Amino acid sequence: MKKKELAALFMAGVMSLGLLAGCSSDGGEASQPPASQAGTQSSQPNGGDGDTQGNTETVTIKVGGIGPITGDLAQYGLATQWGAQIAVDEINALGGPIKLEYDFQDDTGVTDTAVSAYNTLKDWDVDVIYGCTTTAPCVAVASETFADRYFQLTPSASSPDVTADKDNAFQMCFTDPGQGMAAAEYLKNSSLGTKLAVIYNNGDAYSSGIADAFITKAAELGLEVVSTQTFPDDKTTDYTVQLNACKDAGADVVFLPIYYTPASLILAQAKQMGYAPTFFGGDGMDGMLDMEGFDKSLAEGLLLMTPFNASGTDERTVDFVTKYQADHGILPNQFAADGYDCMYAIYEACCQIDGIAGMDHAQLCDALIAMFTGGQFQVDGLTGTGMKWLETGEISKAPVVVKVESGVYVTQ
Amino acid sequence: MSFLNNAITGISLGSIYAIIALGYTMVYGIAKMLNFAHGDVIMVGAYVCFLAMGNAGLPSVVGVLLAVAVCTVLGIVIERLAYKPLRAAPSLAVLITAIGVSYLLQNSAQILWGAATKTFRPIVEGSLVLVPGQLSISYVAILSVVCCIVVMVALSVFTGQTKMGKAMRACSEDKAAAQLMGIDVDATISMTFAIGSALAAIAGVLMCSAYPVLSPTTGSLPGIRAFTAAVFGGIGSVPGALLGGILLGVIETFAKAYISTDLSDAVVFAVLIIVLLVRPAGLLGKYVPEKV
Amino acid sequence: MKKINKNSLNGFVNYGIIIAAFIVLQILIGKGVLSNSLQSLLVPACCYIVMAVSLNLTVGILGELSLGHGGFMSLGAFSGIVASILLQDLIPMAPVRLAVSMVVGALAGALGGVIVGVPVLRLQGDYLAIVTLAFGQIIKNIIMVLYVGVDETGIHVAASSDRFVLAPGGTAIIKGPMGAVGVAKLASFTAGAILILITLLVVQNLVNSRSGRAIMALRDNRIAAESVGINVTKYKLMAFVTSAALAGAAGALFGLNYSSTVASKFDFNTSILVLVFVVLGGLGSIRGSIIAAALLYVLPELLRKFDIAEYRMLIYAIVLILVMLATNNDQLKSMLGRIIPKRKGAVSNG
């Protein structure tokens, strides 16, 4: 009886709290729109810079970024956020006709949160969407931006689904199939080995997208793939079974279209079991050498396709790397570099648009699409020079294969 | 040969699951709560050891001891602040609080130490070569198997023979009766968490030595796996946790090697379900019939 | 008799809350005062409310801990998506197609519920919990390797990409790890609100029926219930399958609200999230589940308003712990107990 009463009391407590919370929720919701309205009003003068172009020469473009900055994928999202931030600061310091205002919202790498993040940016009166970092959320957001007419440029969401049937979505990175096919072609023309194996993450769109295209293309080119191994999650810790299968099949080249975290474990475990084929990776592998505590000798001889080289010696790369390291204490990887290039692509395209001052986001979207697909527009950045975009939204830049020699990339 | 190789891989992986599961089962056995934050305490332990060895350049033994000390204190603090006020609350309320603590630890770790993955320097390196080029066992695997056995024996002796251990068992049986017998229930449960968290620190260091990557979410997946292992062996049973952990590792490895790497997760959990259907209290768990 | 009246009155209040909230929100949308971000949360919030209410049936009413509710949502989402694409030409009207897809989702969820429920409901407590967790993982793993497509020769299902070949012009619906992409957005807030009302109708009628009392008798004392002739398996299964079916319908609505859905969305964390809603709302309290799900789903999004970026989820975690501590604090409870009339406590029990 006593227990029952206690339970009833507990329920009453919870209920009343729920009711109280319910009231505050109504209050919260009612007060929310005015707050956001206040937000839009206060931001109106900013956006209005464009309308009152007669007075000032600068036009402010609001760029809203989306990516995971908490959770499992935080390191990738933060890289895209930080890389872009450096470009934004540089652009605003230039004092050119266009200024960028930048906000970045967390999507935790999840579809529904990404859509909420996008809507938060809409409430902020965003002009251009930069993101998402990861593929699945990007596909969902791209179909929203397509319907709402926002221009979207993603630094790293590499599936063709991101741009498929949408004229407004563009990529800064290679597409997954493009990368898989380039890898197969490279292996065909090189003399690295004759028996190939693939280990990929079959729970990840990026990894399986590259792997599928690689396997198809390899068959087309007459390359022999002796073993195809998968793992379900980037948090998988043990790859010995997969490596053993590759070893037993006699593979002398192992293609790893995966991110650097699992790849670093694969390299360590291969060394431990005394298996030393040539490992060949995609752009997700970039960043491995910068992992704190990583034994660089493990990666000796590793080949990877990356558009960005943090140990590059050209002035712009050195400058970027120095700033990034000063701000965040780690070396930037290709996610950060792609993010940096995205901002410059947006900025340079905006600079070339006539009459940008009075445009709303939909007009800007159409103008940017025309610019990106016009054939004339090209951008020089950290991840390539003379980068152009195809009608499909895909980027056209040359894939670069690098080899790790004594802990640095050497272009092949 | 490949069979032996897979068996060794499975046991190595299993020993890591087992050492995590021992901490899980210890806390469950006494405090009767599923501590979903256990995996994140492991992560904290690994970070402490990493920082001590990497940044401060301390020897690995000091790193491990430091990790144990920090995690023990952390375990007691979490217990005092988050779990103790809920002693009389329904067990689900404590479960949710544990999940909150888990999120808290993960996000604090990201803010403190950054989201970037770090490479852990193993506390012992190299491996014992049985057949050159074909068969070898890493020293970490040997160390973790030895640790598991030592911990298991120590826990059995501790709970079976010592006064504190007997008090723990009494609390586990009946808190009210234990209190009447003069046992300080709060202190006993705090002690349980201290021991569980110390074990988590050791597990964290061993796990990251075997699989040397470290990020704020490192603990979440092994946490679930270890929970599975603990239930598999019969939750609350110390030898059960060891057996469950090793078997889980072996089944996972064999499923990958001989069935499909695509479906290894599904196979592992399907085996778990089948085992529980045959033995509803796990492999070594005692099935307690309800008294009417 | 009096108790039953109170219960049905309590049920009507729940319908009233939902309908009132729906009308108020519609007016706010009409007037354009509801921000885009809040508008985009309406449909998923409806899904999570249904998830929470249905899980409450298992955890609160039946008294069995389930950690795999996300698995049923996943089943519903993907089967609903497949149904909506297959029926594209057959049923051109979007709302009807959405309704049919949700029914398909519910059926898939129910089927999953039967498959899991029949063998495992004889387990108890944490063992049942781990089996439901395992089930959620298995579903995730299987959908991750599943390829489903349709072309003029019919429906194709394969377990790997190389065996998955479609004739030209065919549509791939589920592409393994890439999940379902290019899904037409059919879901609407109205559909979400209707689904909540249907869920309340089903759950409240079940709880207040003879079967519902049998289920609660099982929760309170299984042996006593068995001794008076209550069929344990039948009633446990009834609650479990109903719960799974509703989760399936919610999943279908969720899946049809986004143009892409991946299996990894419905992982352990999603199941746990729904459990958090249920426990915070109060076990067995349907209204509590509704309010907790709505508030807690919106909370992390509201935290975006403050410029805290990386601290957002940390604050969420702290709020979660504090709320748990506060709701279980004896002094606070007795204080609230004095303020709130006793009647409420009794009703929320039922």
- Secondary-structure breakdown of chain A: helix, strand, coil percentages, each rounded to the nearest 5: 50, 20, 30
Strands of the A98-106 sheet, one edge to the other: A98-106, A59-67, A128-131, A151-154, A169-171
Q: Indicate the fold that domain A177-306 takes in CATH.
A: Rossmann fold (3.40.50)
**pLDDT score, position A200:** 93
Cβ proximity of B196 and B42 under 8 Å: no
pLDDT-derived band at C4, boundaries 50, 70, 90:
low
Structural domain that includes position B42: 16-125+132-218
**pLDDT score, position A335:** 92
Q: List helix spans (H) across A277-314.
A: none
Q: Is the CB of B277 less than 8 angstroms away from the CB of C279?
A: no
N-terminal to C-terminal alpha carbon distance within chain B:
55
Q: Which of A232, A260, A274 sits opposite B264 (nearest CB)?
A: A232
Say how many residues make up chain A. Answer: 412
Distances (CA, A) of C166 to B225, C87, C265: 38, 18, 26
| Beta-sheet pairing, A98-106 with A59-67 | parallel
Percent of residues, chain A, with pLDDT higher than 90: 55
- Please report all neighbours of A, defined by 3+ CB atom pairs within 8 A: B, C
Predicted structure pTM score: 0.87
**pLDDT score, position A171:** 94
Query: Which residues of A fall within a CB distance of 8 Å from B213?
Result: 237, 261, 264-265, 291
Per-residue pLDDT of chain B (292 residues; tens, 9 = 90+): 778 888 998 998 999 999 999 988 888 888 888 888 999 999 999 999 999 988 888 898 999 999 999 999 999 999 999 998 888 888 888 888 999 999 999 999 999 998 888 888 888 888 888 887 778 888 988 999 999 999 999 998 998 899 988 998 888 888 889 889 889 988 999 999 999 999 999 999 999 998 888 999 888 888 888 888 988 888 888 899 999 999 999 999 999 888 888 888 889 899 888 888 888 888 887 766 655 5
Q: Is the CB of A111 less than 8 angstroms away from the CB of C39?
A: no
Q: Which of C34, C145, C287 sits opposite A18 (nearest CB)?
A: C287
Distances (CA, A) of A123 to A36, A41, A154, C32, C39: 7, 11, 20, 12, 11
Cβ proximity of C308 and C315 under 8 Å: yes
Query: Which residues of A fall within a CB distance of 8 Å from B136?
Result: 272-274
Q: Is the CB of B103 less than 8 angstroms away from the CB of C317?
A: yes
Q: List helix spans (H) across chain B.
A: 2-31, 38-54, 60-78, 91-113, 139-161, 163-173, 175-180, 185-210, 220-233, 238-254, 264-278
Residues 6+ apart with CB under 8 A from C85: C150, C171, C173, C183, C184
Amino acid identity, residue A374?
Answer: G
> Is B101 among the domain residues?
yes
pLDDT of A13 above 70: no
pLDDT of C343 above 70: no
Domains in chain C (CATH in brackets) are: 2-349 (1.10.3470)
Of the candidate ranges A295-299, A363-367, A380-384, C310-314, the one whose mean pLDDT is the lowest: C310-314
**pLDDT score, position A56:** 53
Average pLDDT (A396-402) is: 85
pLDDT-derived band at A27, boundaries 50, 70, 90:
very low
pLDDT of C178 above 80: yes
Q: Is the CB of A235 less than 8 angstroms away from the CB of B107?
A: no
Q: Which sign, positive or negative, has the C-alpha torsion A124, A130, A133, A134?
A: positive
Cβ proximity of B198 and B204 under 8 Å: no
Distances (CA, A) of A283 to A65, A304, C72: 21, 7, 36
**Which class is domain A55-174+339-396?**
alpha beta
> Is B285 among the domain residues?
no
Q: Is the CB of B50 less than 8 angstroms away from the CB of A238?
A: no
By CB atoms closer than 10 A (0-12, 13-18, 19+), residue C124 is middle
Q: How far apart are CA C190 and CA C196, in angstroms?
A: 10
Q: Is the CB of B118 less than 8 angstroms away from the CB of A329?
A: no
> Is B195 among the domain residues?
yes
State both tokens at B168.
């723990």
State both tokens at C155.
């429906």
A vs C, Cβ pairs < 8 A, gives: 191
Mutation site for A-interface testing, chosen from C13, C18, C22, C36 by largest number of A Cβ within 10 Å: C36
* A-proximal residues of C, 125-164, CB under 8 Å: 141, 144-145, 161-162
Q: Is the CB of A144 less than 8 angstroms away from the CB of C259?
A: yes
Higher pLDDT, C137 or C338: C137
pLDDT in tens, A127-153: 999 989 998 899 999 999 999 999 999
Phi, psi at residue C163, to the nearest 5°? -90, 0
pLDDT in tens, C213-257: 999 999 998 889 989 999 988 999 999 999 999 999 999 999 999
pLDDT of A8 above 90: no
pLDDT of A32 above 50: no
Q: Which of C137, C144, C321 sits opposite B100 (nearest CB)?
A: C321
pLDDT-derived band at A5, boundaries 50, 70, 90:
very low
Give me the number of domains chain B comprises: 1
Taking CA B239 as the corner, what is the angle to CA B234 and CA B244, rounded to the nearest 5 degrees? 55
pLDDT of A47 above 70: no
Cβ proximity of B238 and B156 under 8 Å: yes
pLDDT-derived band at A49, boundaries 50, 70, 90:
very low
**pLDDT score, position C347:** 39
Query: Which residues of C fall within a CB distance of 8 Å from B265?
Result: 137-138, 140-141
- Range(s) for CATH 3.40.50.2300 in chain A? 55-174+339-396, 177-306
Q: Which of A78, A230, A237 sits opposite B261 (nearest CB)?
A: A230
Q: Is the CB of A112 less than 8 angstroms away from the CB of C44?
A: yes
Backbone region of residue C334 per phi and psi (left: phi > 0; alpha: psi in -120 to 50; beta: other values): alpha
**pLDDT score, position A9:** 42
- Please report all neighbours of C, defined by 3+ CB atom pairs within 8 A: A, B
Say how many residues make up chain C. Answer: 350
Predicted complex: ipTM over 0.90 = no
Taking CA B259 as the corner, what is the angle to CA B253 and CA B261, rounded to the nearest 5 degrees? 65
N-terminal to C-terminal alpha carbon distance within chain C:
13
**pLDDT score, position C350:** 35
